[in-house]
């Protein structure tokens, strides 16, 4: 009895410590733009963090279908582009700010993802990934030839009307909120019945089906939710870039990024995509921008992917957990 009371008392306290550290970090990130207000010269920091937030949101979203359910999607750039073009067109033709239309862009991506999932997630197994590659190439073909949204030349968007010193700040907050929402949703799904069903599907779909799980609906819902964050990020990123071009969004390389981030961090874990995104952007800033981007980038991405699949299939989180070295701070599952 005393033992039980002791564990009861101890568990929340340890949880508290982790909770305090993480919320402290979030508060810190929320306050960071104050630096830029006080004195100029922190735009670079804000920019790098903003890109990290974007990848956190994208990769956490991808993880819901690609990690929890184990269905690799190479079609997420399509939802990103959908969001970017939706909000971009509304900005150009109606003058509506993407900060207001971004949630709508996410919703549109969700609806589109739901419809697409209904068609392509009927079957088990690898036919799905084929359909996502086809979707990506089809979207590219359509956007390249659709003159109303600029065709292959793309669409220029008006700049946000903020002074240069402050113009990163709204994007910073937009991406930060999206990333927090994505991680929160990912966490909630991981600890819900849906999350359990999805993991059952990833382990053995036939058994999951036999156990009475509506596997098709679970997969479709997971895919639709994961599309939401890609749509929102697309809307914000397009506005930040001030031009939309099919070649930026709709490449297999962009899809490969999301796969690699999840593989590095740990697919199917809540913290994996966050860790992976931070590493991806950090390394990009440190290494790639020094050497310059070349075709070799693609090769390195490919080789990394092969090595991780062969030697660290669980990514960083999985490898640490296997050895019992995963700090509680990062154990969000």
Partner 1 sequence: MTTGLQTLILGLALGGVYALMAIGLSLTYGVMRILNLAHAAFMVLGAYLAYWALQIFHIDPLLSVLINGPLFFILGVSLYRLLFVPLAGRPRYTEATLLLSFGLALGVEGLMGTWWTGIYRAANPVYATRSISFGPFYIPEGQLYATVISVGMLLVLWAFLQNTRIGRAIRATMQNRTAAQIVGVNVEGISALAFGLGMASAGISGSLLSFLFPFFPGKHWQWISSLLSLVVLGGMGSLIGTVVGALLLSVASVWVSSILGPTWSPVTFYAALFMVMMIRPQGLFGKKEA
Contact residues toward partner 1 (CB under 8 A) are 70, 72, 74, 119-120, 122-127, 129-131, 133-135, 137-138, 141, 145, 202-203, 206, 252-253, 256, 259, 263, 294-306, 309-310, 313
Distance, in Å, from the CA atom of 139 to the CA atom of 78, rounded to the nearest integer, reads: 7
Signed CA dihedral, 206, 208, 210, 213: sign only: negative
CB of 46 to partner 1, least distance (A): 31
CA distance 272 to 62: 12
Supply the minimum distance, in Å, between the C-beta of residue 250 and partner 1. 11
Show contacts of 188-191: CB within 8 Å, 24+ apart.
189/64, 189/68, 189/222, 189/225, 190/68, 190/270, 190/332, 190/333
Shortest distance in whole angstroms from residue 131 CB to partner 1? 6
Least CB distance to partner 1 at residue 123 (A):
4
What are the φ/ψ torsions at residue 48 (nearest 5 degrees)? -60, -45
Look at residue 159 and give its three-state secondary structure: coil
Q: What is the C-alpha to C-alpha distance for residues 134 and 137, in angstroms, rounded to an integer?
A: 5
* Residue 133 Cβ vs partner 1, minimum distance, rounded to whole Å: 5
Nearer to partner 1, 120 or 269 (CB): 120
Closest CB to partner 1 among residues 73, 101: 73
- Within the chain, strands assigned E span 155-156, 243-244
Comparing CB distances to partner 1, the nearer of 283 and 329 is 283
Q: Find the shortest distance in angstroms from Cβ 117 to partner 1.
A: 11
Minimum separation from the CB atom of position 279 to partner 1 (A): 17
DSSP class per residue in 6-27: HHHHHHHHHHHHHHHHHHHHHH
Q: Which is nearer to partner 1, 160 or 319 (CB)?
A: 319
Query: How many Å apart are CA 88 and CA 174, to the nearest integer?
Result: 16
> Closer CB to partner 1, residue 176 or residue 257?
257
Q: How far is CA 200 from CA 55, 123, 213, in A?
A: 27, 16, 9
* Of 186, 160, 248, 239, the residue nearest 58 (C-alpha): 186
| Tokens standing for residue 178 | 């999206």
């Amino acid at each position: 009895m005393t033992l039980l009371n002791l564990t009861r008392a101890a568990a929340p306290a340890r949880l508290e410590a982790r909770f305090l550290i993480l919320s402290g970090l979030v508060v810190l990130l929320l306050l960071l733009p104050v630096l830029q207000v006080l004195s100029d010269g922190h735009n670079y920091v804000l920019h790098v963090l903003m890109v990290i937030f974007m990848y956190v949101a994208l990769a956490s979203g991808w993880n819901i279908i690609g990690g929890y359910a184990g269905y690799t999607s190479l079609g997420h750039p399509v939802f990103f582009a959908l969001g970017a073009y939706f909000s971009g067109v509304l900005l150009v033709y109606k003058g509506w700010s993407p900060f207001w239309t971004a949630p709508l862009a996410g919703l549109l991506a969700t609806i589109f993802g739901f419809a697409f999932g209904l068609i392509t997630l009927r079957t088990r197994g690898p036919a799905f990934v084929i359909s996502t590659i086809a979707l990506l190439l089809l979207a590219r073909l359509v956007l390249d030839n659709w003159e109303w949204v600029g065709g292959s030349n793309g669409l220029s968007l008006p700049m946000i009307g903020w002074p240069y010193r402050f113009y990163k700040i709204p994007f910073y907050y937009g991406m930060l909120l999206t990333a927090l929402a994505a991680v929160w949703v990912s966490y909630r799904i991981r600890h819900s019945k849906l999350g359990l069903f999805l993991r059952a599907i990833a382990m053995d779909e036939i058994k999951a089906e036999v156990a009475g799980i509506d596997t098709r609906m679970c997969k479709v819902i997971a895919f639709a939710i994961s599309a939401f964050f890609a749509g929102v990020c697309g809307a914000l990123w397009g506005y930040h870039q001030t031009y939309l071009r099919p070649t930026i969004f709709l490449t297999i390389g962009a899809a490969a990024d999301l796969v690699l981030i999840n593989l590095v961090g740990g697919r199917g874990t809540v913290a994996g995509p966050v860790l992976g995104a931070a590493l991806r952007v950090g390394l990009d800033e440190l290494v790639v921008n020094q050497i310059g981007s070349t075709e070799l980038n693609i090769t390195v991405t490919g080789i990394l992917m092969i090595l991780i699949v062969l030697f660290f299939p669980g990514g960083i989180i999985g490898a640490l957990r296997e050895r019992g070295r995963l700090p509680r701070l990062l154990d969000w599952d």
